[in-house]
Chains A and B, each alone.
Chain A
Amino acid sequence: MNKEELLNCFDAITPTDEQKDKMLAEILKHKEKVFKPAKPFKYQVAFAAVLALGIVISARPQLFLLDKQKDVPRYEVAQKAPESVSPSEPPAQTEAEIPAESTTTVLNKKAPESSFVGNNESDLSDIVASTAAESTQEEALGVADAAENSDMFVMATLVPDEDLSMAASFRMAGRELFYDEVLNDETYGNLFPKKIIEGFDFASAIAFDNSLEADFTGENGYIHIRIYNKSDAEPSPLIITPDELLEYEQADTISFSISCGDFIVYYEIDGKNITGIYDMVVSTDFFNK
């Protein structure tokens, strides 16, 4: 075998033109099919979709909340009563379970004829009635705070039960007053001192149906004055005369009551300035009369 025969042998291994065209077409087809040009537009669409979804989620997250709260009707959430402060208390009640009378009964408690409210009694009843109708469950339980812009509120106190658990109870409707209003009150005004011990400032005053309270605070303590009807005095208070105050000279905290006609004036004073206390007590119009 010479070289020429060998070359002819290799020449025989040659694809036909048809094979060549077919393979070239396949190659170019594969190129167009597999190596597609990049389409930035589709990524822009995807980016815009993700961005829009993020905006929607941030604007309305409640649409995507999957917790159980989503399934609870909103009125139930809004009206759910606060947890009872006492284990002995029944579980939280819904508004429907709480009789409306329980609110109005307490709040509409009639004031005695000698109430300081006087002409404001009818107004107070109206306000209380409307407040009861609109009151939330918290208000019904007496946990409401005195609104800054409203001088009407429900006074609530936490008192220990027999088993020492705490339970909320109503006291009665109250109305915040300025001290000028206290002094100008037709029933109780003249029983409050015109001159307060030096170093104490007026803190707050609350008018109830059958009593009026005022608090004064200072660097060295506080003064609490409450005036109420004698008929409401229970148990019988320790009633002293102003002159007997001097016997409390060594005491840090003094609490005493002074009988003034149909009313009891109760003082609770934290301080040692007995002379100042005496001057304050005797400075009331009642004693000056």
Chain B
Amino acid sequence: MSNSALRTDEEITRIYKKYVDMVYKICFMMSKNIHETEDATQNVFIKLIKHLDDFKSDEHIKAWLIVTAQNECKNMLKHWFRSKRSDLDSVPEATYEDKNESDDTLEKVMSLDDKYRLPIYMYYYEGYSTSEISQILNIKHSTLRTHLSVGRQKLKLMLEEDENE
């Protein structure tokens, strides 16, 4: 692959600066580990370098990055269970708790299943509609709506339990 066929550094830098936070958030929600998140984020943008198809718009790039980040994290998690890269006892755990120990809300959100967590993020934070999310994540619209509803209820219950305690 010739260098000319790749995306230029300027183009990569522009896209990176615009969407790195989003990709990082998705990867973090999927992996729940800072180091894995950094690796996954880098891999997503490296794939963007090799992805030679023209994007129609920035929204197209954004959707592509969401799907790629999700798939990258899924692959990484599969690989994580298969390989023993280090002894877990010897490495201090680096999870979202390190990120913000005082944020209970984040902890509750991260305790949700993946199938609820990512739609909630995309719906409330990224502002996608349910139809758009169903298209991006390639799941049925009704199923997505159910996931959103169940996720909200579970989150509400967890917060109410904390208040009662």
Contacts and interface: CB of A to CB of B under 8 A. Distances in A.
B81 interface: no
Q: Chain A at the B interface: mostly helix, strand, loop or mixed? A: helix
Given A9-B103, A10-B121, A24-B16, A30 B29 contact: no
Given A9-B109, A12-B100, A38-B2, A27 B38 contact: no
B103 A12 contact: yes
Interface stretch (B5-13, B62-70, B86-94, B137-145): B5-13
A24 B24 CA distance: 12
Nearest to B126: A10
Interface string A32-48: 00011110000000000
Contacts of A24: 13, 16-17, 20
Interface string B42-59: 100110011000000000
Contacts of A6: 105, 109, 120, 124-125
A3 B20 CA distance: 23
Interface residues of A, number: 26
Q: Chain B at the A interface: mostly helix, strand, loop or mixed? A: helix
B12 A27 contact: yes
Contacts of A23: 16, 20, 38, 41-42, 45
Given A13-B96, A37-B2, 16 more contacts: A1-B156, A5-B105, A8-B105, A9-B106, A10-B124, A10-B125, A12-B106, A15-B20, A27-B16, A27-B46, A31-B9, A31-B12, A35-B1, A35-B49, A35-B50, A38-B2
